[in-house]
Amino acid sequence: MIKKNQKNTELKKIISPQKLQAGDTVAIIAPAGIIKTGKKSIKTAQSLIESWGLAAVLGANIFEENNHFAGKEEQRLKDIQWALDSPKIKAIWCARGGYGSIRIVDKINFEGFKKNPKWFIGYSDITVIHNQLNNLGYETLHGMMVVNLEEDSKNIKNSIKSLKAGLFDSLDTYEIDSNKANRFGKSKGILIGGNLTLLTSQLGSSTQLDTRNKILFIEEIGEYKYHIDRMLQSLKRAGYFNHCAGVIVGDMMNIKSNIPAWGCSVEELIMNVLEPYDFPVAFGIPAGHMPENQALIFGRSIELSVTESKTKITF
């Protein structure tokens, strides 16, 4: 069994953006895919933001369409650059993911953001931006996006509640019933990660994460088991898990069946890859593409406790 690195690696100081206060401004942008629900979800988000005592502003190109994308690259880049640079804006909420963030991330200038750090909110394709900001030493908020407000589910209320808590106050300690696939243990480390496909696609790039002594979160949607295995094997070969402090597995949603059958559950698949390591592994965390998408603070030092009865995540 490969033991995680016990030495404390020197980490840059992590900067946490200021908590929101009444009167602050939140920008809504679409850095990736088009907003298929049009203005309806945007209006819902604006009303929600205003109900919190905040002001909502929209990126100038948010309703643009360029085939799959929410506008041309220069339009999407212009909106995200505007939101990052403006000292007035205290949080940036991505309207949706889809695909496209990886096409503009290397063109973003983060110097204005460094002068006025702000919360960056999203998940899925937005993983790329999370990873870049975390690498620069800033906390970000992995949570629901604007289009999720249209989902008809009581669970969406929990997502909204945790998002608001992350922005205004602090996240609760999450306690989740134990999963039979879990590997028990306790650890502490900075939480990083995101969508498995996006993490794999960044291997060898400037936005690849440094996982040493970190707790890695992964989630996925709509993939075949063989593809999940291939991505995990790619991360493993690149040394991604060698010195991890732990792995948290969120929603693995709408996993497609292999023909012929893969022969095991997605939990067993993941544990087969992680078998050589000794860090704790927690399954069943309600974060990712399901309606209940609890907010997580990437870049935050957390405590992970995985026991026979429950998983506990303390921010």
For position 5, what pLDDT does the model report? 45
Q: Is 219 helix (H, G, I), strand (E, B) or coil?
A: strand
For position 257, what pLDDT does the model report? 87
Q: Which residues of 231-253 are buried (b: 16+ CB within 10 A; e: fewer)?
A: bbeebeeeebbebbbbbbbbbbe
Supply the pTM of this predicted model.
0.95
For position 214, what pLDDT does the model report? 98
Q: Where are the alpha helices (DSSP H) in 55-98?
A: 73-85
Q: Over the stretch 151-176, which tens digit does the pLDDT of each residue have?
A: 776 789 999 999 999 999 999 899 99
Task: Tell me which of 130, 142, 289, 292 is the catalytic residue.
Answer: 289
CA 149, 196, 119, 59 dihedral sign is negative
Q: What distance in Å separates the CA atoms of residue 192 and residue 258, rounded to the nearest whole number?
A: 30
* Residues paired with residue 186 on neighbouring β-strands, in sequence order: 305
pLDDT bracket for residue 110 (50, 70, 90): very high
Smallest Cα–Cα separation from 70: which of 47, 44, 37, 46?
A: 37
Q: What distance in Å separates the CA atoms of residue 65 and residue 298, rounded to the nearest whole number?
A: 30
For position 12, what pLDDT does the model report? 66
219 is catalytic: yes
289 is catalytic: yes
- Segment 107-113 shows an average pLDDT of 98
Smallest Cα–Cα separation from 266: which of 240, 232, 294, 234?
A: 232
Smallest Cα–Cα separation from 2: which of 279, 273, 294?
A: 279
Average pLDDT, the chain: 95
Superfamily of domain 25-168: Murein tetrapeptidase LD-carboxypeptidase, N-terminal domain (3.40.50.10740)
Q: Over the stretch 25-79, which tens digit does the pLDDT of each residue have?
A: 999 999 999 998 768 899 999 999 999 999 999 999 999 999 999 999 999 999 9
243 is catalytic: no
Q: What distance in Å separates the CA atoms of residue 146 and residue 59, rounded to the nearest whole number?
A: 13
Q: What distance in Å separates the CA atoms of residue 312 and residue 315, rounded to the nearest whole number?
A: 10
Taking 60 as the threshold, does the pLDDT of residue 6 lie above it?
no
For position 250, what pLDDT does the model report? 98
Taking 90 as the threshold, does the pLDDT of residue 112 lie above it?
yes
Q: Is 181 exposed, middle or buried (CB count within 10 Å of its CB: 0-12, 13-18, 19+)?
A: middle
Lowest-pLDDT range, 120-134, 153-167, 192-206? 153-167
* DSSP, res 33: B
For position 222, what pLDDT does the model report? 97
Q: What is the CATH number of domain 174-314?
A: 3.50.30.60
Q: What distance in Å separates the CA atoms of residue 93 and residue 58, rounded to the nearest whole number?
A: 10
**DSSP element (H, E) containing 235:** helix 225-237
Smallest Cα–Cα separation from 210: which of 16, 15, 12?
A: 12
Task: Tell me which of 139, 219, 220, 223 is the catalytic residue.
Answer: 219
* Residues paired with residue 227 on neighbouring β-strands, in sequence order: none
CA 14, 305, 166, 289 dihedral sign is positive
Q: What distance in Å separates the CA atoms of residue 127 and residue 27, rounded to the nearest whole number?
A: 18
| 70 contact partners, CB below 8 Å, separation of at least 6 | 30, 31, 32, 33, 34, 35, 61, 62, 63, 64, 76, 95, 96, 100
pLDDT bracket for residue 8 (50, 70, 90): very low
Query: Which residues of the chain are in CATH 3.40.50.10740 domains?
Result: 25-168
Task: Tell me which of 41, 101, 124, 187 is the catalytic residue.
Answer: 124
